[in-house]
Amino acid sequence: MDICLEPVGDHGALLGESPVWDLADGIWWVDIEGCRLLKTSLSTRRTQSWPTPQTPGFVALAGQDRPVVGMQRGIYAFSPSDARFERLVSFGGEGRFNDATVDATGRLWVSTMAMDAAPGRAALHVVTADLGLRTVLTGLTTPNGLAADVGRGRLYVSDSHPHVRTVWTAACDFATADLGPRTVFAAAHDMPGRPDGAALGSNGDLYWIASVDGAALCGFSGDGDLAVSVPLPFSAPTKLAFFDGGLVVTAKSAGGYGGQLAVATDLPPLLRGPAVPFWRTGGPSHAIRTRT
């Protein structure tokens, strides 16, 4: 499957990550190595940029134009009007936040990792209603690939480390955020690139993941089979996100496009998906919709 991607914005990132659509005109994302929070307008093709006080890993949304950024010492709410960061969730461990996703109940799932990507020192957490962290999985190295499939009752997580290159699923009760043991969903040792950031397609039919250093987006069926691969014109995609009528992909600066945000529209139905929900900072909504 081929798609037409176009770089947008007036500057790129050293290590672009974590794109998220704000349901209006903007895509929020971060530059991890450049320590920047960015917002790219899809209509004007201009990018706003703000320095972050610590190394960022992800940006999520608590509402329209209400970004929250995971950094080294916690998760911070950002006010675009006065460029101010306010810590909501504290993190006392070593390292920084990396990947994140919000499930259909409005609960935020986040990963943390060592600054030097030391093996086994990364973990997966769920943010509690009182803005604490509850650790649900340990022993990871470079945790990515987070996606919540409420319909199937499972959470996806990958490890991008070159020696791991694996995606797992774990049974999840999304009403309580209780996670079961992880099982291998897809191993990528024989595939080009490494599994990085992910998103679920429409109705959760396909699990899409960026193949960093593999120049592709890979779509896996619910059974873990590689159903489709979409070649990209740059080698190091890091994460994809869907918006109304299209998708966006972030990337490293090396390998083409100079780390600019890449956008594609007029997509086939197979390559469409929903936007990630807003994080409900006061706690999840228990009106969970499941597939019949």
- Please report which confidence band the pLDDT of residue 285 belongs to, taking 50, 70 and 90 as the band edges: low
Backbone angles phi, psi at 138, to 5 degrees: -125, 180
Amino acid identity, position 27: I
Between residues 40 and 23, the one the model is more confident about: 40
Asked if residue 292 has pLDDT above 90, the reply is no
pLDDT at 80: 93
Beta-carbon contacts of 106 under 8 Å, excluding residues fewer than 6 positions away, are: 277, 278, 279, 280, 283, 284, 285
Q: Where do the domains of the chain lie?
A: 6-271
Between residues 254 and 52, the one the model is more confident about: 52
Cβ(196)–Cβ(158) below 8 Å: yes
Nearest to 72 by CA among 114, 16, 40: 114
Nearest to 142 by CA among 184, 185, 187, 96: 96
CATH for 6-271, options being 1.10.10.10, 3.40.50.300, 2.120.10.30, 2.60.40.10: 2.120.10.30
What's the pLDDT tens digit per position in 53-98? 999 999 999 999 999 999 999 999 999 999 999 999 999 988 999 9
What's the pLDDT tens digit per position in 111-147? 999 999 999 999 999 999 999 999 999 999 999 999 9
Helix, strand and coil percent figures for the chain, each rounded to 5: 5, 50, 45
pTM for this entry: 0.94
Asked if residue 269 has pLDDT above 50, the reply is yes
What's the pLDDT tens digit per position in 242-260? 998 899 999 999 877 889 9
